[in-house]
Structure 1
């Protein structure tokens, strides 16, 4: 793919690059904040978002025509962050004991089952509707509504401000609390061009590794044939 068209001394990105850069600039920092609320780990949140955008650039023709490219990246980041390997890693590391309403909210979120936490963040944090939340979590609308109800009740049991709110207002209060907690996270993102370059570099490395494995299998098969003939 031709990466840049030259106009005098100014380099102008291709349409795909400009579209990707706009998506990254608009959503990367907020997605890191959301993923932090999902996991309670800043470094894992950054890695998950980087991984998701690397995947998005590798599969840009698919992502570009998706009805919700930001949702595509978000789902990839959440899946990476909640993978069993990372869950085991988080269990081995002790979380710092913090204080204050922000830490209380984070502790309450992390006490939820992952499926409940994810649904709660998507619906009450990101602001997705119930059908969209159900689709992104691959659950039925009824199951998602049930998860949201139980998740809000569990979080309210740990947070006086939410517990004292009328049940009909809890979603709005929780949305405000989640937004305020996310805003406290100071996020520095890479330039979008660096993310694209990193994705392309990974693709080249995987391609070379794949060719190397094919070569090894070919040599092994040849040796096996020679040995069989010798016997």
Structure 2
């Protein structure tokens, strides 16, 4: 009697990525496997490892998510032969496209919960992936490329400068469902740090240290933000006081929005155009700075010119007097001149000598 070999499990981080790419919540995966949501959370964080029949069920579910089907058939002889052949390494563009196709749809829905704006969510995800393509050697070597892109998208989405953009001054239409509108309204009234911690922990499913690291905060501060956010949500919506129920509602609200992401080649081309634009702008600024410096050196004086000293009073020169009333002597002189001009002697006419 032969024993069937155990099905291998992917790494914990890949388990979470497979679930998010399929649009499933931890509670839905827990229902299919027959365990609690906290158990699935521990499996995805690597704190525990499934065993026995649960491991086989969980491995088959992950394998079906990888292939996009709910059932798994045995490999054919041709597939076994191809699997034994060495595979070629992916090119940077292929690796980027795979990461984008794997993360972009779920990330756009998560960013929508963070901002409440569909267009801003799409723009944030595209800008994050454009920056990732510009820094692809760094992102490709990162321990968690999906986390790197998610943190960049969240930072761009929560930027306070968006309030000055005309297209984002007015709110977008809320969700059609009343319960979805109420939950989204509660989320948007939370302070951005609390909203981010709540979505990362109860929405994405990160543990507390990972949430603190991605939020760039300490673990105690992140725990306080999470507690305050949960209390605010429970105060407005008492039915969501249970973290498991809150996790399910966040997943349902995110999956209710159909946000279409751009194609990976379009995102790469947009990132390359943006990089070329900023490179040319930097070159133009450098050339302008060099030209201004050269002009300054050309027109600057080559020797020291002392400043002109202030004026000094010259002794012996009477000061200039402004026009005023005539003195008695001046009045007499003016009278005499007038009388002589009218009835004085005959004027002398100069003659040529």
Matches of 1:127 and 1:94, distance apart in 2: 28
Contact 2:107 2:125 (C-alpha < 8 Å) held by counterparts: yes
Contact 2:105 2:259 (C-alpha < 8 Å) held by counterparts: yes
Are 2:164 and 1:92 equivalent residues in the alignment? no
Matches of 1:87 and 1:120, distance apart in 2: 23
What is residue 73 of structure 1 aligned with on the other side?
149
Give 1:52-131 correspondences, 5 Å limit.
Answer: 52-89=128-165, 92-96=169-173, 100-131=178-209
Matches of 1:97 and 1:128, distance apart in 2: 27
What is residue 214 of structure 2 aligned with on the other side?
136
Are 2:240 and 1:162 equivalent residues in the alignment? yes
- Is the partner of 2:300 in helix, strand or coil? helix
Instruction: Check 1:88–1:152 CA distance in 2 against 1; reply closer, same or farther (3 A cut).
Output: farther
Instruction: Check 1:208–1:122 CA distance in 2 against 1; reply closer, same or farther (3 A cut).
Output: same
Give 1:1-231 correspondences, 5 Å limit.
Answer: 15-89=91-165, 92-96=169-173, 100-163=178-241, 170-229=242-301
Instruction: Check 1:212–1:14 CA distance in 2 against 1; reply closer, same or farther (3 A cut).
Output: farther
Instruction: Check 1:194–1:133 CA distance in 2 against 1; reply closer, same or farther (3 A cut).
Output: same
Residue deviations 1:122-181, cap 9 Å, x none?
A: 000000011100111111212211211111110111124214xxxxxx111111000000
Instruction: Check 1:215–1:14 CA distance in 2 against 1; reply closer, same or farther (3 A cut).
Output: farther
Offset at 1:97? 6.0
- Which 5+ residue runs of structure 2 have no aligned equivalent? 1-87, 304-353
Instruction: Check 1:13–1:221 CA distance in 2 against 1; reply closer, same or farther (3 A cut).
Output: farther
Offset at 1:96? 4.2
Question: Which protein shows a greater Rg?
Answer: 2
Residue deviations 1:32-85, cap 9 Å, x none?
A: 111110011111111111110000000001000111000000000000111120
Question: Which contiguous aligned blocks of 4+ residues in structure 1 show a shift greater than 3 angstroms?
Answer: 87-92, 94-99
Contact 2:118 2:259 (C-alpha < 8 Å) held by counterparts: no
Residue deviations 1:165-214, cap 9 Å, x none?
A: xxxxx111111000000001112111111111111111111111111111
Matches of 2:261 and 2:181, distance apart in 1: 24
Matches of 2:267 and 2:295, distance apart in 1: 42
Larger helix proportion of the pair:
1
Contact 2:197 2:215 (C-alpha < 8 Å) held by counterparts: yes
Q: Number of residues paired by the alignment?
A: 214
- Which 5+ residue runs of structure 1 have no aligned equivalent? 1-11, 164-169
